[in-house]
Amino acid sequence: MTTPTVAVLGLGAMGLPMATRLAEDLPVRGFDINPSRLDLAEGAGIVRCASAVEAVSAADAVLLAVRDSAQLSDVLFGGNGIAPSLARGSIVILTSTVGTDGLADVVARLGESDIELVDAPLSGGPARAGAGDLLIVVGATPAARAKAAPILERLASTLTVVGDRPGDGQALKTVNQLLCGVHIAAAAEALALADALGLDTERTLEALGAGAAASFMLANRGPRALQAYDADGAEVLSRLDIFVKDMGIVTKAARAAHLATPLAAAAEQLYLIGEAQGLAAHDDSAVIKVIAPTRRNA
């Protein structure tokens, strides 16, 4: 499929820029329950569809973002599931981090209709999605990867094939999220300590970013962690409760592998406390307020 027709279900913060990027070169059909998102999609050259079933019925590939494995099963096989409307030989591209639980059953059920799952969790924000600058890791059969290539290559600047099985991408993304979740928590703890020691936190952040302690998450989340103390908080680019979910996937996978992950477990507890304190919808950098509810040296 050199020019596959793609259905994008969900035209939110990530779905719309991905669909818009794909629509530059490919026919794209879109659906979202929010009419205003459909209006934006239509303006970007995306075919507006009245339902998910309508969107996928004329598609070679479906780009799917869901919250977890239960939602994945419901979208595909629930009461209004799209699976019966998918064409034989088509592919479903899963872009979410859902873990490996239940994925084998999804693959088997889709396979009964000659439909393959491309396990392709991604990293990057809306701006990078719109620019085709995402990091995507892929687990899928060679045949399914070939079908997905015209789509994934337009979305990714870094496209890494992890293995030939759906689930391989989820496994690598689980490892990735362990590091991300721990790094965000560590950056928050470090900045809270700097503030408690009476240091200028902005200057501290600048100094740390130039040395051996630098990390992507420190540079990316550090400024937003400091903004978490502002009246309106930091701009929400990644919700805290996403890491409640993702660190849960990490620690569950580690237990299943009989592997101790004490740092991941500690970070998971911080996100859970943050959620309990009403920070679920805040940017994940707000985890600093779990460690230090108030800033001592503004």
Domain count, the chain: 2
Structure tokens at 183: 């790094």
Give 76-133 pLDDT, tens digit per residue.
Answer: 999 989 999 999 999 999 999 999 989 999 999 999 999 999 999 999 888 899 999 9
Give 210-231 pLDDT, tens digit per residue.
Answer: 999 999 999 999 999 999 999 9
Which domain range does residue 256 map to?
A: 171-291
Is it the case that residue 21 has pLDDT exceeding 80? yes
- Is residue 147 among the annotated active site residues? no
Same domain, 223 and 259: yes
Quickly list H helices, 47-167.
52-57, 69-77, 103-111, 126-130, 142-155
Give 239-284 pLDDT, tens digit per residue.
Answer: 999 999 999 999 999 999 999 999 999 999 999 999 999 999 999 9
Q: Residue 15 and residue 41: Cα distance in Å, rounded?
A: 10
Contact residues for 181 (Cβ-Cβ < 8 A; gap 6+):
243, 246, 247, 250, 264, 267, 268, 271
Query: How buried is 231 (Cβ within 10 angstroms: 0-12 exposed, 13-18 middle, 19+ buried)?
Result: exposed
Same domain, 258 and 156: no
Same domain, 24 and 40: yes
| Residue 40 one-letter amino acid | L
Specify the pLDDT at position 67.
Answer: 86
Mean pLDDT of 186-212: 97
Q: Report yes or no on 1 lying in a domain.
A: no
Q: What is the CATH number of the domain that holds 12?
A: 3.40.50.720
Backbone angles phi, psi at 116, to 5 degrees: -110, 150
Q: Residue 238 and residue 226: Cα distance in Å, rounded?
A: 15
Q: What is the pTM of this model?
A: 0.91
Q: Which candidate in 173, 245, 252, 289 is catalytic?
A: 173
Specify the pLDDT at position 1.
Answer: 62
Q: Report yes or no on 298 lying in a domain.
A: no
Matching residue, tokens 């928050």:
188
Domain boundary among 102, 134, 166: 166
Specify the pLDDT at position 243.
Answer: 97
